[in-house]
Structure 1
Amino acid sequence: MLDTHARKFVQPSIDKTAGALLKIGLTANQVTVISFFIGVSSGVFFYFGFPIIAVSVLWISGYLDAVDGTMARKTKPSSFGTVMDVTFDRLVEISVILGVAFAIPNVQWALLLLSVSIIFSMTVFLTVGAVSEQKGIKSFYYQAGLAERTEGFIFLTLMMLLPAYVLWVTLLFFFVETFTGCQRLLEAKKILEKEEV
């Protein structure tokens, strides 16, 4: 939801950063890889007891993830870049979930439920993107929903900064993610039935 409706407010900053990185010779795919390595360190930092650093690198990674897409659109987007981008996004989320799971074992069952809801929501998202004839600003059809990447980062941040409430934050994240998957599934039915007419 925030990615779709609030992006316009941060896009000027993203455009400037993308331009600066292109000027020094970096490619969109190189920034995707840099973003990935910064992002996956988040779960490691949290596990070793550095939640502020963990949250900081998570958001730096998220910012660079937005920058790399803008860089690709300013140059030449690559299909493999899209694959890397979507895959690395999930691995960053997995890193945080694993970091929390190993650091706070008594909430592992809730984190497992959360992981299942993310798999469900992303399966719908990626399948619709693959089969839909519609294309958006990205190289596939992007389905907006209640929980997009920014909402996910907010929940992951709360999980790391409020360990006393991690169970309730995780369960709320699970319900929001499941709702988003259902929301996308219903939207997909409408979109794809229209395309087949």
Structure 2
Amino acid sequence: MLDAAMRKLIDPPLASAATVLKKAGVSANAVTVTSFMPGLGAAIALGFGEYALALALILVNRLMDGLDGAVARQTVPTDLGGYLDIVGDFIFYGAVPFGFAVAAPEANALPAAFLLVSFIGTGSSFLAYAVVAEKRKITTDIRGKKSFYYLGGLTEGTETIVFFIACCLLPQNFPILAWIFGGLCWVTTLTRIAAAATTFRD
């Protein structure tokens, strides 16, 4: 819901940083692959209950996730780059709830499982829509130039990161936060299904 508005704020500084990386010969794919390390590290830190460290690594991961796209836009975007980016994103999104479940399984395992199922709903509805949109040559640039169609929703990247930050700052409240955010994810999934039913109707 907030991604389009956030792009107006973050694109200028990301473009400046991308210019520096481009001059240094750093490729977008290198940034994408490197960004996976702090994302994985965040999940490990969560598992050990190191919430402050996990928060810092989550922020680094998300910064680098935005930076790889900025570098790609200043060079040559590739299909492999788009593929690596989305695969890394979804592994990261799944790893964070898993880390909370490991940290406190009795309290967190069930809400984390619900959150993962909810993420599967948002992820599958997002990717399936993109596949059919590509087949039908439907395009959009509301969230900037992307490798494939980005369908919005109530819970997009910005909202998910705010949720992760809240969970790291208030880890004792992870269960209730996970139940609430997971429910909002299902609103996103259902609205995307409704959009597909309208757009793709033959």
TM-score by length of 1: 0.94
In structure 1, the residue matched to 2:190 is 182
Tell me, yes or no, if structure 1 residue 85 matches structure 2 residue 85: yes
* Deviation for aligned residue 1:161: 1.9
Aligned length: 194
Cα displacement (A) at 1:9? 1.1
Amino acid in the other structure paired with 2:193: L
Structure 2: 5+ residue runs without aligned partners? none
Structure 1: distance between partners of 2:138 and 2:75 = 22
Task: Please give the per-residue CA displacement for 1:110-156, whole angstroms capped at 9, x wherever unaligned.
Answer: 11111111101111110110111212321211101111112111112
Contact preservation (8 Å) 2:55, 2:168: yes
- Structure-to-structure mapping, 1:23-172, within 5 angstroms: 23-106=23-106, 107-132=108-133, 133-136=137-140, 137-172=145-180
- Offset at 1:157? 1.8
Quick one: distance in 2 between partners of 1:113 and 1:48?
21
- What is the alpha-carbon root mean square deviation over aligned residues? 1.2
Partner Cα separation in structure 2 for residue 53 and residue 23 of structure 1: 31
- Residues 39 and 58, structure 2, Cα contact 8 Å, conserved in 1: yes
Q: Deviations over 1:93-113 (max 9, x none)?
A: 222111100001122111111
Q: Distance in 2 between matches of 1:45 and 1:179?
A: 30
- 1:17 and 1:176 map into 2 onto residues whose CA distance is 34
After the TM superposition, which parts of structure 1 deviate over 3 Å for at least 4 consecutive aligned residues?
Answer: none
Task: Provide structure 1 residue ranges, at least 5 long, that are not aligned to the other structure.
Answer: none
